[in-house]
């Protein structure tokens, strides 16, 4: 049974941590088509690429995701001491977003987490699920906790362009990162796929939707153990709690937050030509300014995500330099939900 309407388009800027049920509009201004500045005036250069021009509700099985069940009397306390987010938010809202960090504060794994009865389900990249399960078991020690990776027959689906109720679903939640991403649904893969009927699409369509909203994901946009939570915008998407107690890597992340020293951010890029593979360097006048993440064809152009030094982008703009990646010229913009802005030109010198 289908319910609800499309997420209404909005052009409002969002403060950090907000959740907009919106399909952001096309860029009104980018570092290469308008002024850059800090503070309130810079909100004009915040934007996201509009998602695919469809009106029907879409549902996609995500075979690149796996589920890890964490159960037992100590499950909540166990996760609270490890992950960047507050497990209490998951208890209250049914879903959360967070990461496990290295002691140096870099992202070791990122995942969504769902409340499932007395247990929790971690929705993580399938390629990293076995290692994540192993790491959780390593930290278990004497805690009364069981860690189990669920078989692939129980899978993760994403639904967007509206709300959908799929017969046989075991769990349905709004994506905790950004409401406009839609729903996450857990259940038997074959049963849910059959029940979806004409609404069923593929993972590539979901990735185009995700990229169009400016949401980076581990392994698709960056490698683990390479970047900090602020770099991957976890602080913007509810993935880090600065009020809870300690977790692995907490001191580094807290220091970066309170000193405002995050210089790199994932932002949105687009080009009129195809973009190269993830990890390709991005330059301005031959000098490195960042790296490319994932990309997808979107409304006649190629949209992508990129981890960029914001100050270097501002410097390039001031000099009239283009950003290039593998021979493709890039336009760049901040996601509509971003609570950060371009640094002042003087601060970028």
Are 90 and 188 within 8 A, CB to CB?
Answer: no
Query: According to the model, what pLDDT value does residue 260 have?
Result: 86
CB atoms within 10 A of CB 114: 23
Mean per-residue pLDDT of the chain: 86
In sequence order, which residues have a C-beta less than 8 Å from that of residue 39 and are 6 or more positions away? 341
Q: Give the tens place of pLDDT for each residue, 120-176.
A: 999 999 999 999 999 999 999 999 999 999 999 999 999 999 999 999 999 999 999
| 43 within a domain of the structure (yes/no) | no
What mean pLDDT do residues 311-329 have?
A: 96
Query: According to the model, what pLDDT value does residue 348 have?
Result: 52
| 265 within a domain of the structure (yes/no) | no
Are 232 and 216 within 8 A, CB to CB?
Answer: yes
The CA distance from 166 to 163, in Å, is 10
Query: According to the model, what pLDDT value does residue 162 have?
Result: 93
Q: Give the tens place of pLDDT for each residue, 279-304.
A: 999 999 999 999 999 999 998 999 99
Model confidence at 347, pLDDT cuts 50, 70, 90, reads low
Query: According to the model, what pLDDT value does residue 55 have?
Result: 60
Q: Give the helix/strand (H/E) hosting 254.
A: helix 250-259
Top-confidence residue, 33 or 64: 64
Count of structural domains within the chain: 1
Q: Of the ranges 87-101, 211-225, 239-253, which one carries the lowest mean pLDDT score?
A: 239-253
CATH number of the domain at 142, please: 3.30.1360.120
In sequence order, which residues have a C-beta less than 8 Å from that of residue 4 and are 6 or more positions away? 162, 163
Question: Hey, what are 310's tokens?
Answer: 């914001």
Are 102 and 110 within 8 A, CB to CB?
Answer: no
What letter does residue 337 receive in the DSSP assignment?
A: T
Assess whether pLDDT exceeds 90 at residue 52: no
Query: According to the model, what pLDDT value does residue 29 have?
Result: 31
| 169 within a domain of the structure (yes/no) | yes
What mean pLDDT do residues 101-122 have?
A: 98
What is the reported pTM? Answer: 0.84
Are 292 and 280 within 8 A, CB to CB?
Answer: yes
Question: Hey, what are 146's tokens?
Answer: 């069981």
- Which of 12, 38, 27 is closest to 269 using CA atoms? 27
Range of the domain at 207: 58-213
Query: According to the model, what pLDDT value does residue 27 have?
Result: 30
Are 23 and 180 within 8 A, CB to CB?
Answer: yes
- Reduced to 3 states (helix: H, G, I; strand: E, B; else coil), residue 191 is helix
């Amino acid at each position: 049974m289908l319910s609800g309407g499309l997420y209404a388009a909005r052009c409002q800027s969002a403060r950090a941590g907000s959740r907009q049920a919106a399909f952001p509009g096309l860029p009104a201004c980018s570092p290469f088509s308008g002024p850059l500045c800090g503070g309130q005036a810079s909100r004009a250069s915040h934007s996201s690429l509009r998602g695919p021009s469809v009106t029907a509700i879409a549902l996609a099985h995500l075979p690149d995701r796996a589920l890890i069940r964490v159960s037992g009397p100590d499950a909540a306390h166990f996760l609270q001491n490890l992950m960047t987010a507050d497990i209490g938010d998951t208890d209250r809202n049914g879903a959360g977003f967070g990461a496990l960090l290295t002691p140096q504060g870099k992202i070791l794994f990122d995942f969504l987490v769902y409340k499932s009865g007395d247990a929790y389900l971690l929705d993580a990249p399938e390629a990293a699920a076995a290692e994540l399960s192993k790491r959780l078991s390593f930290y278990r020690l004497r805690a009364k906790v069981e860690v189990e990776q669920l078989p692939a027959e129980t899978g993760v689906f994403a639904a967007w362009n509206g709300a959908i109720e799929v017969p046989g679903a075991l769990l349905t939640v709004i994506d905790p990162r950004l409401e406009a991403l839609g729903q996450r649904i857990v259940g038997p893969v074959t049963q849910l796929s059959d029940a979806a009927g004409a609404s069923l699409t593929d993972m590539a369509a979901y990735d185009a939707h995700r990229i169009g909203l400016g949401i980076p994901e581990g392994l698709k946009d960056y490698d683990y153990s390479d970047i900090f939570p602020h770099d991957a915008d976890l602080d913007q998407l509810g993935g880090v709690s600065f009020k809870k107690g300690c977790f692995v890597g907490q001191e580094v992340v807290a220091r970066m937050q309170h000193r405002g020293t995050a210089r790199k951010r994932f932002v949105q890029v687009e080009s009129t030509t195809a973009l190269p593979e993830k990890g390709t360097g991005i330059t301005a006048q031959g000098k490195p300014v960042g790296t490319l993440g994932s990309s997808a064809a979107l409304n006649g152009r190629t949209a992508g995500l990129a981890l960029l030094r914001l100050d270097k982008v501002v410097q390039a703009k001031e000099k009239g330099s283009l950003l290039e990646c593998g021979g493709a010229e890039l336009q760049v913009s901040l996601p509509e939900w971003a609570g950060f802005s371009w640094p002042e030109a003087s601060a970028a010198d």
